[in-house]
Amino acid sequence: SSRALLTSVVFAFETTQQPHVLLPLLAGCVSAFLVSGLLMRTTIMTEKLARRGLRVPSDYRADVLEQINVGSVCSRDVVSLRGTQTVAEVRAWLQTGDAAAAHQGYPVLDAETRLLGVLTRRDLLEAHVPDRATLDTLIRRAPLLVGEDHSLREATDHMAVADVGRLVVVAADDPRRVLGMLTRGDVLAAHARHIRAAQQRT
């Protein structure tokens, strides 16, 4: 009932101290292990947790998101804005219907293509923001970043804590060099690919 087959065999042998009954002990422990697996959904060590309504996994699986690097799944075609652009310019561009103008957030770069911050559509369309203002003057908070070498698990935890749907992906050796954007959609797509690959293997 503990689902610890090898431990059960060792304990049984230590108790009997009879080498000639090792095979019967092994058969008995294996039988108990199989019966327990068929009749009980949990072990004696997790039964109380299950009765309290907690979900207890029956096996151990590797975290898929922990195995995938951000850099391998993020969107590399980043639509960025320049810090010297005026709000009027960007607002006019947002109204063109261009596919690139449909994003909800944009990295803002300086003249050397270094990251200054991130502005959302809401930031750009706020009524109180004057048309003549430049984008670099609108940045009020530090951008939410994730390194290209971080795992998707770290990235999704960051998204959850910050309550955002996208992160700016930066180089591992330079946190101001933008490499891409990671969205919730990118994470879900990577997870879906893993599920489909696992189904094909089986």
How many CA atoms, within 13 angstroms, populate the side-chain half-sphere of residue 109? 16
> If you average pLDDT over residues 55-66, what whole number do you get?
70
Residue 80 has pLDDT above 80, yes or no: yes
Instruction: Look up the CATH number of domain 64-191.
Output: 3.10.580.10
Question: What is the C-alpha to C-alpha distance for residues 153 and 156, in angstroms, rounded to an integer?
Answer: 5
Q: What is the pLDDT, as a whole number, of residue 180?
A: 93
Residue 95 has pLDDT above 70, yes or no: yes
Q: What is the pLDDT, as a whole number, of residue 146?
A: 95
Domain ranges of the chain: 5-51, 64-191
Amino acid at the residue 11:
F
